[in-house]
A and B are shown apart, each in its own frame.
Chain A
Amino acid sequence: MSHIVINGDRCKACYLCIKECPKKLIRVSEKTNSLGNHVVEFCDENNECLGCAMCATRCPDLAITEVYRG
């Protein structure tokens, strides 16, 4: 099952990944990290993730640390 892993500690809330995701599976969460940022979260209830890794490729902070496809 395709999915991504997010390291919230690294997220700087630029939210570039949100726009990048073709399936719109990433959103701003209520959680904050040590930087005080509302970190992003991955939300894929219908298993829509393609494992395209566009979010991770775009993320400037390597907060999306792993992407799996298939």
Chain B
Amino acid sequence: MATQVFKVPDTFRKDFKYTFCPGCDHGVAIRLVAEVLEELGLQENAIIAAAIGCSVTIYDFLNIDALEAPHGRAIAEATGIKRARPDKFVFTYQGDGDFASIGLAESIHAALRGEKISAICINNTTYGMTGGQLGPTTMLGQVTTTSPTGRNVEYYGYPIKIAEHIALCDGTAFSARVSLDSVANIKKAKQAIKKAFEVQLKGLGFGFVEILSGCPTNWRMTPEQSHEHVRNEMSAIFKPGIYKDITAEIK
């Protein structure tokens, strides 16, 4: 008798269909979030705040309570939700522009306050929904629609390493960077998301995961090439790893 080893998590809405481009890693990231919500039994108690960009469509797919925030303010709204209802599981799902550019002040300060919320940030080094412009994580040399000759330091400055910055905040309980370039790394990513959720449940502080993801459309690559790019180029600059884990320190 065969046993089922994979299913669509119950956390999804009935008959959902992703609206992402072919090969987009958002689909994988959202599935991992859904799996972790299900495994931790959080679906009926979770509230998500999401802002703008491809990431905001998460509420069309997950069958959980959701609040749409203005661009950059998902963390502020999540803070408000958590302070009003400390018994709820509150998290955000954001892009790098939302989390680390327009919303950087909110992100850093939530981490410094040790807000008991969790944040997932998709880093694809570009503004996806608006058509591939230069973002806070755009790599040096990377060509985007607003860096047509590539990002150079003199003109554009440097990209931000988000997970490292969040790890520096004293209120952060967990900060990690993971990648979705391979099946092995997808499994690691899930473990990191689980950890970022668990530190909230334990009341330890701010939980954060940065997820390196491919954006084949705006990178002008095939899905397969986009994963090679994440593996060979992005991961060399944005090194995957656990940058802070106070549960490990406690051990």
- The answer to whether A and B touch in the complex, with CB atoms under 8 Å apart, is yes
Interface flags, A51-70, vs B, CB<8A=1, else 0: 10110111111101111111
Q: Which of B6, B27, B216 is close to A66, meaning CB atoms less than 8 Å apart?
A: B6
For residue B179, give the distance in angstroms from its CB to the closest CB of chain A: 13
Q: How many residues of B contact A (CB 8 A)?
A: 28
CB-based contact B2/A12 at 8 Å:
no
A28 within 8 A of B: no
For A59, list chain B residues within 8 Å (CB): 27-28
CB-based contact A14/B2 at 8 Å:
no
Q: How far is the CA of A13 from the CA of B24 in the complex (A)?
A: 12
Q: A1-B2, A12-B22 are in contact. Are A20 and B8 (CB under 8 A)?
A: no
B60 within 8 A of A: no
Residue of B with least CB distance to A19 = B224
Interface positions of A from 23 to 63, Cβ below 8 Å from B: 37, 51, 53-54, 56-62
For residue B30, give the distance in angstroms from its CB to the closest CB of chain A: 9
B7 within 8 A of A: yes
For residue B116, give the distance in angstroms from its CB to the closest CB of chain A: 30
Q: A19-B224, A54-B183, A70-B1 are in contact. Are A64 and B6 (CB under 8 A)?
A: yes
Residue of B with least CB distance to A70 = B2
For A13, list chain B residues within 8 Å (CB): 22
CB-based contact A15/B3 at 8 Å:
no
Q: How far is the CA of A62 from the CA of B34 in the complex (A)?
A: 12
CB-based contact B183/A14 at 8 Å:
no
Interface flags, B22-65, vs A, CB<8A=1, else 0: 11111110010000000000000000000000000000000000
Residue of A with least CB distance to B182 = A58
Q: How many residues of A contact B (CB 8 A)?
A: 31
B67 within 8 A of A: no
For B3, list chain A residues within 8 Å (CB): 68-70
For B227, list chain A residues within 8 Å (CB): 16
For A64, list chain B residues within 8 Å (CB): 6
Q: A15-B223, A16-B224, A51-B2 are in contact. Are A62 and B18 (CB under 8 A)?
A: yes
A2-B2, A60-B26 given; name 15 further pairs at CB < 8 Å.
A4-B6, A10-B17, A14-B23, A54-B183, A56-B6, A60-B18, A60-B20, A60-B22, A60-B23, A61-B27, A62-B27, A65-B8, A67-B7, A68-B4, A68-B5
Which B residues lie at the A interface, using CB under 8 A? Answer: 1-8, 12, 17-18, 20-28, 31, 183, 186-187, 216, 223-224, 227
Which A residues lie at the B interface, using CB under 8 A? Answer: 1-4, 9-10, 12-16, 19-20, 37, 51, 53-54, 56-62, 64-70
